[in-house]
Structure 1
Amino acid sequence: MDAKTPAALRDAAANTPARPTQDEAEDAVRTLLAWVGDNPDREGLRDTPKRVVKAWRDWCSGYDADPAEVLSRTFEDVQGYDDIVMLTNIDVESHCEHHMAPVLGVAHVAYLPSDRVVGISKIARVVEIFAKRLQTQETMTAQIADALMEAMNARGVAVLVDAKHQCMTTRGVHHPNVSTITTTFAGEFKTDEELRARFMKLVDRA
């Protein structure tokens, strides 16, 4: 991480303890398998610890990526374009930090460029970086907006995330059709009501 990385992320990284080894992580899975009442040594579960650790390495790969680095390559030759740049229906695949259960949905992200733009795939990549961490949806929504504002010096950013939380659909209250919507508006999107309305209209059309 460099100076362009949001301060909250730098502080969190600095306070993160050293990672256990691969073997230690696999042993933890074996312990959990035994705790739920199964036999970690039976044929069907013998390789499960290795598979689970590999899966979590993918699901949490956002910890090893820096959004500021992804957004560092920008383009200035845009013929003076200064209106909304927006991506809709970006897949969100995350896990909640309270139960480590899947959070599945979509993100809609818009920004107002100042003097430069970024490749559109980079915006989707930033969403993926923050999604592939243990998260709350509220924090993730704000992190996406903060990263775009800081790294690109954007005039404004709007983010809407619409997702279903499996910790609510498959356990606890068991309400499978409940969707959670979170929004963050920064810069001109925060101060300009008409601009926010344009963003929401574009979301409705997505």
Structure 2
Amino acid sequence: MTQNHEMAEEAIRQLLVAMGEDPNREGLLDTPKRVIKMYEEMWSGLGKDPKDEFTAVFSEGHEEVILVRDIPFYSMCEHHLVPFYGVAHVAYIPSEGKVTGLSKLARAVEVASKRPQLQERLTAQVASALDDALSPVGVFVMVEAEHLCMTMRGIKKPGAKTVTTVAKGIFKDNIDQRKEILAMIHNG
């Protein structure tokens, strides 16, 4: 998957040297390979479009809210290259009964999160993918995450959560619908 394994491994070796470490000592000998393997896994969504996950679409006649709550994810802050992780809540109201498989909502979150990312963009990418794929009456996506760049460095506030939302269609235009979906997310 990596464009150039050797170059990437050498970059990790050079980082270790630049930080004052010896990449040839026993504990670090295989570190560059392990780091690259980790990044390949964590960035496996690069070049993929979350919209492509909505392959299973059915006409079911259902025209009420569909919500998948608490979809766990982890991603990588593109500013500091450290993880952020949390849960996503993805909801939509089908148009003309057009629905997708429930796992597809989780898969879209997975694809959007597996890359260097911003939480705001992640939220918007999932919402846009669902909106583009199904043209529903409304889409609402909420992402709640802890950012290790705020936990481990800088302000050092472990446990602080960032919440982002994107509302489209009826969830953007109708305050009662927005309140209903927020109640469903928070109260089950």
TM-score (norm 1): 0.87
The size of the alignment, in residue pairs, is 186
Aligned to 1:112: 93
Verify: 1:28 aligned to 2:11, yes or no: yes
Which structure 2 residues correspond to residues 8-87 of structure 1 after superposition, within 5 A?
20-76=3-59, 78=60, 80-87=61-68
1:149 maps to: 131
Unmatched 5+ residue regions in structure 2? none
Aligned residue in 1 for 2:159: 177
Instruction: Please give the alpha-carbon distance, in whole angstroms, between the structure 2 residues aligned to 1:68 and 1:177.
Output: 31
CA displacement 1:121-152 (0-9 Å, x = unmatched):
01000001111111111111111100000011
Gaps of at least 5 residues in structure 1 are 1-18
Counterpart amino acid of residue 93 in structure 2: L
User: 2: CA distance between counterparts of 1:68 and 1:199?
Assistant: 22
The CA RMSD measured in Å over matched residues stands at 1.1
Deviation at 1:167, TM superposition (A): 0.3
Normalised by the length of structure 2, the TM-score is: 0.95
Q: Distance in 2 between matches of 1:124 and 1:67?
A: 10
Q: Which secondary structure state, in structure 2, belongs to the residue aligned with residue 63 of structure 1? A: coil
Q: Shift in Å at residue 154 of structure 1?
A: 1.4
Residue 160 of structure 2 aligns to a residue whose secondary structure is: coil
Q: Which moved more, 1:157-166 or 1:19-28?
A: 19-28
- Opposite residue 108 of structure 1, the aligned amino acid is H
Distance 1:55 1:159 in 2: 28
1:125 corresponds to which residue? 107
Give, in whole Å, the separation in 2 of the partners of 1:20 and 1:33: 21
Aligned-pair identity (%):
43
Which residue of structure 2 aligns with residue 15 of structure 1? none
Provide the C-alpha distance between the structure 2 equivalents of 1:120 and 1:83, rounded to a whole number of angstroms. 14
Q: What do the CA deviations read for 1:21-80 (whole angstroms, capped 9, x no partner)?
A: 11111111111111111111111111111110000000011114332221132111x1x2
Q: 2:83, 2:52 → 1: CA distance?
A: 27
